[in-house]
């Protein structure tokens, strides 16, 4: 575990979206992340949707400046460029030009954000990405109202090759009992490839990992929890392939009993 957690969804870049407001916020968040055991963060400011003004070159420059700020303040955290991408019709073409960023800027994994209120079929999006040698990572499905109404939507997407990222706070109850129940359900079923903080600030929606890791270990087993918090996200950060399909789970007896009661 010495290499630390890798957070593939974090709004750490200051002054660009609804995440860290300024350098002081970013430093405070980064110090919290390091204290939690995080070693690497992929900075994912919003792109497209209400944030079409966030250009690829600007994000790359800001993340480089953030790394320099962290180094100057002796914060031992590696930051990489990426984006939290709202799904829109022109997204594939903007990926072609590198105007929209992939995770780690490796041209491999795209963090996909659905509108909060609705679910729409992702198969055409996944197919468009596959033609480009890219893989979709669906961010926080447990917080999408359409998925909350029909959580059975998740498994066919995973079988099709979509990777799933659940928010750590969902698993610990920060987004309410409905989100927590769905997060626990899909973690226990092996349908989650990544836990990530989706952190937005140093005081609320903070970059916390430990409690969610412990809960995931109860529900899916320690090996699965390590895969979700460290091994799979590290592969993304390095631009390497993550195995598609469900992950192997081996829940502790205590965690399985809890899940059976909650389900």
Interatomic CA distance for residues 132 and 85, integer angstroms: 16
- Least Cα distance to 234 among 56, 39, 18, 46 occurs for 39
- CATH assignment at residue 241: 3.20.20.140
Q: CA separation (Å) from 17 to 33, 45, 59, 159, 209?
A: 19, 6, 11, 33, 22
Residue pLDDT tens, the chain, 263 long: 347 999 999 999 999 999 999 999 999 999 999 999 999 999 999 999 999 999 999 999 999 999 999 999 999 999 999 999 999 999 999 999 999 999 999 999 999 999 999 999 999 999 999 999 999 999 999 999 999 999 999 999 999 999 999 999 999 999 999 999 999 999 999 999 999 999 999 999 999 999 999 999 999 999 999 999 999 999 999 999 999 999 999 986 544 443 333 33
DSSP string for 50-103? TBTT--HHHHHHHHHHHHHHHHHTT---EEEE--EEEP-TTHHHHHHTTSSPPG
pTM greater than 0.85: yes
Reported as a single tens digit per residue, the pLDDT across 127-158 is 999 999 999 999 999 999 999 999 999 999 99
How many folded domains does the chain comprise?
1
Q: What is the residue range of 242's domain?
A: 5-262
The CA distance from 203 to 215, in Å, is: 22
d(CA 202, CA 225): 24
**209-249 pLDDT, tens per residue?**
999 999 999 999 999 999 999 999 999 999 999 999 999 99
């Amino acid at each position: 575990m010495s290499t630390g957690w890798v957070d593939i969804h974090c709004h750490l870049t200051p002054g660009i979206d609804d995440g860290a407001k300024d350098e002081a916020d970013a430093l405070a968040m980064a110090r919290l992340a390091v204290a939690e055991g995080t070693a690497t963060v992929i900075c994912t400011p919003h792109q497209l949707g209400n944030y079409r003004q966030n250009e690829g070159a600007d994000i790359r420059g800001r993340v480089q400046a953030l790394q320099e700020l962290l180094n100057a303040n002796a914060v031992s955290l590696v930051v990489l460029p990426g984006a939290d991408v709202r799904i829109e019709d022109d997204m594939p073409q903007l990926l072609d030009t590198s105007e929209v960023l992939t995770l780690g800027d490796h041209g491999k994994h795209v963090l996909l954000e659905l509108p909060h209120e609705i679910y729409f079929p992702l198969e055409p999006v996944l197919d468009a990405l596959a033609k480009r040698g890219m893989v979709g990572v669906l961010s926080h499905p447990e917080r999408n109202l359409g998925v909350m109404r029909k959580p059975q939507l998740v498994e066919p997407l995973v079988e099709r090759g979509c990777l799933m990222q659940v928010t750590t706070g969902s698993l610990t109850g920060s987004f309410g009992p409905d989100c927590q129940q769905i997060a626990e359900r899909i973690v226990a079923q092996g349908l989650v490839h990544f836990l990530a903080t989706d952190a937005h600030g140093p005081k609320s929606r903070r970059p916390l990992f430990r409690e969610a890791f412990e809960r995931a270990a109860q529900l899916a087993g320690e090996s699965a929890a390590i895969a979700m918090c460290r091994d799979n996200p590290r592969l993304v950060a390095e631009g390497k392939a993550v195995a598609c399909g469900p992950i192997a789970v081996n829940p502790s007896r205590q965690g399985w009993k809890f899940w059976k009661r909650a389900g």
